[in-house]
Chain A
Amino acid sequence: METSEKTSRIKVVTSGIIPFVFVVLMVAYIFGPGADLLDLGVPLPELTIEKIAFEKSEIHVTVRNTGPLPVQVVMADVNDRIHPAAIEPDKFLNRYETALVRIPFEWNEAEPYTIGLTTDDGTRFERNIDAAAPALQMNFEFVVFFAIIGTYVGIIPVMIGLLWLPFIKKISKSKYHFFLALTVGLLLFLGIDSIEEAFDVSLENLGGSFNDVLLIATTVVLSFLGLYYVSEKLTGRADSLRISKPVVIGLMIAIGIGLHNFGEGLAIGAAVGLGSIAFSTFLIVGFALHNTTEGLAIAAPMSRGKLMIGKLITMGIIAGAPAIFGAWVGGFAFSPFSSVVFLSIGAGAIFQVIVIILKWIREEGDKNLSSAAVAAGFATGMFVMYATSILI
């Protein structure tokens, strides 16, 4: 008996391994005897200038090799005029490796610049900056500045939105469903918005070799699955952890919105960092108005539990405070790749929250998602978000 079990197990393992052996053979063939098959076309070098910072008397250019070949960066130019420069740590860039090019240059504030880098085969890659602005120094003043902006954009509006709680508490069931559906509409809009923002950032800053569409799709799905799993676990154990289901849902919404607000903070920090001051003013005011609706999203499910001021405030902070961190990261350490990843995680988180609320409405509303209240709420949510987004 035992031996037969053993043999069957070995059989299972073997049958699992055999395809792998063929995969290895297949790959070995194409790199070995079948290498001629791969000898098609000419691979071209590719550099992506990810970031340009205007430091004192120097322009700092972050470059990444996004092509299929190792390359050497051999020359730098400003406005298509050759300048002496340095590259750190060295000029040899393997695939996906980055380097910092320092070009000593007495740049003028608010003037446009084009930065070019030339590789060893004479190909020049360039990037434009609309208006030069001094790179933000990570000093106390700016840290406080971004903290205040983040609070203004993230925490305060969310807290204001939470003030709708007593109102929602007092309304009828169908009106309550209207507000829950409204939340779904708001969140769906935010999710789409985050994905769009991720595409913008990757188009502007990332090389095509990152497969931006698939990077974003994969991150969104993984984030969705991860949070979905965690929230199911939390909901399942809600009783034993002595927290109520509305609180769990509120918490998940707060986390989702927090990730989204991190993205908003990034956008603001990056805009200030790039010197688009007028643009960032609009961002700040627009996001602030926009985010009051996020408070409502948290308040709606929480209104059916006991009133817990402390928990509510905590959730407001969970949802709002990431805007501060986002502003810090965006302003001081902007990295396009991490921004795309964070924005995608945020989108996944939001979609996960949408699924949870829809489930909640279905359970609450006699297994019905097609009531007039729900449809109207959903539509209103999308529309309100669109209307406020125009302000940005």
Chain B
Amino acid sequence: MIFTRSTLMVLLLTVTFGVSFALLSPIFTDAQLEQKTFVTHSGRVIETSGEVLDPVYTVSTVDFDPDEFLRNFEYGRISISDNGQTIRDYTIIAEDDKVQEISPGVFFNVWTFNGTVPGPTIRATEGDLVRIHFINNGSKSHTMHFHGIHPAEMDGVFEIVGGNGGQFTYEFEAGPVGVHPYHCHVMPLEEHIVHGLYGVFIVDPKEGRPPADELVMVLNGFDTDFDTENNFYAANTIPFYYQHHPIQINTDQLIRIYVVNMVEFDPINNFHLHGNLYQYYPTGTDLVPSFYTDMITLSQTERGIMEFQYDYPGKYLFHAHKVEFSEKGWVGLFLVKDNSTSEAYYGN
């Protein structure tokens, strides 16, 4: 009897200590022997036997391609009306069930116009008839609200478009000249915007602007843990993307950036350019620049056009000088090539 009792006790103690020990000792599974490397902010090279967690400098790609978005303009299906007016037809489909990688390894439920955040850049000339065939394939109600001049019933506020195939056609004359945002305007508005239902609407002056390498930058952010503070910031959605994929431009070439600030939660955003200053046209409504600066401050949906050219080749940073934003992704590089050795690129 004593024997069984002590055996039981020993067994009990063994089990207890065994379980504790198993929990105590970290479990190392499939230790990889191959060394990987990454660089730090100060350029040091670090080796690791594990995995690299680096959205900042390590080249990586996700579903959405900011390079493609950067120089992509949607001019619509063009037709001419009887009175000679250009008609531009667009089809925009809203969805709200996609889960996309918005930073390497980070998956977030984005609500999209035509499958991307931001939605397509809609571009027309002043006076064109813009016709948007809006289909809501989401599960919630959505609309499209354009900043600009249009009739009240085309404002996308009271004309709620129900989900699961609801439709609406927005029709208005493009104007005024400039760069404007469009976004969903269903309440709760903040929720619909921060999930990604926004895009850029460019209205060109009839006489056009001087030829330039034209870029679109939507300054945006994501609050992935829903604490009403952004976890990520970016120019064109993907944090740090243009840092490891520098935007290639040429010396002595006019660069024109249509910049729209869609960051929510934080009252301001800004745009600082290195090694240069730019002519700035607030909202792009005037053809004469208002400022010559390297720093503009943008409130919610505040936007404008920046024009500049580089004299010297090399790598130049551009970033939010609200450094918190740049250290969470809103930072990039221009790789300026010597114009004499490469072909000039002209957008538009």
A residues in contact (CB < 8 Å) with B = 57, 72-76, 80-91, 96-102, 104, 106, 118, 120-124, 222, 226, 229, 233, 335, 337-338, 341
Contact with A along B100-126 (1 / 0, CB 8 A): 001111111000000000000000000
- Indicate if B56 sits at the interface (CB-CB under 8 A): yes
Closest partner residue, chain A, to B9 (CB atom): A229
**Residue B27 interfacial (CB < 8 Å):** yes
Complex contact A90–B51 (CB within 8 A): yes
**Cβ-defined contact, A91 with B51, below 8 A:** yes
Known contacts A81-B328, A86-B50, then 8 further A-B pairs from the complex at CB < 8 Å, ordered by chain A residue: A73-B53, A74-B103, A82-B240, A86-B38, A90-B29, A104-B44, A123-B224, A222-B13
In the complex, which of the residues A72, A97, A102, A222 contacts B12, with contact meaning CB atoms closer than 8 Å? A222
Contact B29 A118 (CB under 8 A): no
Closest to B5 in A: A229
Contact present for A122 and B54 (CB under 8 Å): no
- Stretch in B18-26, B86-94, B294-302, B311-319 with 4+ CB within 8 Å of A: B18-26
Instruction: Pick the contact of A84: B58, B105, B239 (CB < 8 A).
Output: B58
A87 in contact with B50 (CB, 8 Å): yes
Q: Which of A74, A76, A86, A124 contacts B48 (CB 8 A)?
A: A86
CA distance A226 to B9 in the complex (A): 7
Query: Closest residue of chain A to B21, judged by CB?
Result: A338
Nearest Cβ in chain A — how far from B228, in angstroms? 13
| Interface assignment of B327: CB less than 8 Å from any CB of chain A | yes
Given contacts A84-B56, A86-B38, A90-B51, contact A124 B225 (CB under 8 A): yes
| Contact residues in A for B108 (Cβ distance below 8 Å) | 121-122
Q: Are B105 and A90 in contact (CB under 8 A)?
A: no
Query: How far, in whole Å, are A121 and B102 apart by their CA atoms in the complex?
Result: 10
Q: What is the predominant secondary structure among interface residues of chain B facing chain A?
A: loop
Which residues of chain A are near B231, meaning CB under 8 Å?
118, 122, 124
Can you give 13 contacting A-B residue pairs, CB < 8 Å?
A74-B105, A75-B53, A83-B40, A85-B53, A90-B30, A91-B53, A96-B23, A96-B27, A98-B27, A100-B50, A102-B48, A120-B106, A335-B24
Query: Is the C-beta of B281 less than 8 angstroms from some C-beta in chain A?
Result: no
Residues 226-241 (chain B) with a chain A CB within 8 angstroms: 231, 239-240
For B103, the chain A residues whose CB sits under 8 A away are: 74-75
Q: A73-B53, A222-B12 are in contact. Are A82 and B239 (CB under 8 A)?
A: yes
Specify the chain B residue showing the minimal Cβ separation from A86: B48
| Interface presence of B348 (CB below 8 A) | no
Find out whether the CB atom of A337 lies under 8 angstroms from the CB atom of B23. yes
Asked if B53 contacts A76 (CB within 8 A), the reply is yes
Closest residue on chain A to residue B101 by CB atoms: A120
Known: A84-B56, A122-B108, A124-B225. A98 touches B26 (CB 8 A): yes
Question: In the bound complex, what is the Cα–Cα distance between A218 and B324 (angstroms)?
Answer: 47
Find chain B residues with CB under 8 A from A87 CB. Answer: 48, 50-51, 53
| Given A75-B55, A84-B56, residue A89 in contact with residue B9 (CB < 8 A) | no
Q: How far is the CA of A105 from the CA of B44 in the complex (A)?
A: 11
Residues from chain B with a CB closer than 8 A to the CB of A233 are 6
> Nearest-CB distance from B90 to chain A (Å)?
31
Task: Give the docked Cα–Cα distance between A352 and B102 (Å).
Answer: 57
In this assembly, does B52 line the interface, its C-beta being within 8 Å of a C-beta of chain A? Answer: yes
**Docked CA distance A320–B320 (Å):** 59
Contact (Cβ within 8 A) A90 B32: yes
A89 & B31 in contact (Cβ 8 Å cutoff): yes
Instruction: Please measure, in the bound complex, the distance between the C-alpha atom of A168 and the C-alpha atom of B114, giving whole angstroms.
Output: 89
Assuming A84-B56, A96-B23, A98-B26, is B105 touching A89 (CB within 8 A)?
A: no
A89-B104 in contact (CB<8A): no
B46 at the interface (CB under 8 A from A): yes
- Which residues from B are CB-within-8-Å of A84? 38-41, 46, 52-54, 56-58
B49 within 8 A of partner (CB): yes
A96 CB to nearest chain B CB (Å): 7
The answer on a CB contact under 8 Å between B50 and A99 is yes
Say yes or no: A89-B107 contact (C-beta < 8 A), given A82-B55, A97-B27, A335-B24.
Answer: no
Known: A74-B106, A82-B328. Contact between A122 and B224, CB under 8 A? yes
Given contact pairs A74-B105, A82-B56, A338-B24, A89 touches B46 in the complex (Cβ within 8 A):
no
Question: Closest Cβ of chain A: how far from B25's Cβ, in Å?
Answer: 9
Contact residues in A for B329 (Cβ distance below 8 Å): 82
**Distance of A101 Cα from B51 Cα, bound (Å):** 9
Q: Are A74 and B53 in contact (CB under 8 A)?
A: yes
Q: Note all chain B residues with C-beta closer than 8 A to A335.
A: 24
Chain B residues within an 8 Å CB radius of A124: 224-225, 231
C-alpha spacing A260/B102, complex, angstroms? 51
| Chain B residues whose CB sits within 8 angstroms of the CB of A338 once the complex forms | 20, 24
Task: Judge if B222 is at the interface, Cβ distance under 8 Å.
Answer: yes
Q: Which of A85, A106, A120, A341 contacts B42 (CB 8 A)?
A: A106
Is B3 on the interface with A (CB-CB < 8 A)? no
Q: How far in angstroms is the closest Cβ of chain B from A72? A: 6
> Taking CB as reference atom, which chain A residue is nearest B225?
A123
A184 to B29, CA, bound (A): 48
Instruction: With a 10 A CB-CB cut-off, give which of A82, A90, A102, A104 has the most chain B CB atoms.
Output: A82
Chain B residues, Cβ within 8 Å of A81: 324, 327-328
Set of chain A residues within 8 Å of B27, measured between Cβ atoms: 96-98
Is the beta-carbon distance between A89 and B49 smaller than 8 angstroms?
A: yes
Closest 6 CB pairs of A and B: A122-B224, A74-B105, A88-B50, A86-B48, A84-B54, A81-B327
Q: Which of B52, B55, B107 contacts A122 (CB 8 A)?
A: B107
The minimal Cβ–Cβ distance linking B6 to chain A, given in whole angstroms, is: 8
A229 contact set on B, CB distance < 8 A: 9
Q: How far is the CB of A285 from chain B (nearest CB, A)?
A: 31
Residues 217-256 (chain B) with a chain A CB within 8 angstroms: 222, 224-225, 231, 239-240
CB < 8 Å neighbour of B13 from A80, A86, A226: A226
Cβ A89 vs Cβ B29 within 8 A: yes
Give A97 to B38 CA distance when docked, in angstroms: 24
Considering the complex, give the chain B residue whose CB is closest to the CB of A99: B50
Can you name the residue of chain B whose Cβ is closest to the Cβ of A341?
B20
Enumerate chain A residues within 8 angstroms of B31, measured Cβ to Cβ.
Answer: 89
B24 partner, pick from A72, A89, A122, A337, beta carbons under 8 A: A337
B83 cross-chain contacts in A, Cβ below 8 A? none
Q: Please, which residue of chain A has its CB at the minimum distance from the CB of B2?
A: A233
CA distance A97 to B31 in the complex (A): 13
Q: Does B16 contact A (CB under 8 A)?
A: yes
**Smallest CB gap from A122: residue in B:** B224
Residue in B28, B50, B54 with the greatest tally of chain A CB atoms within 10 Å? B50
Q: When the two chains form their complex, are residues B28 and A89 in contact, meaning their CB atoms are under 8 A apart?
A: yes
CB distance from A73 to the nearest CB of B (A): 7
CB distance A74 to B20 under 8 Å? no
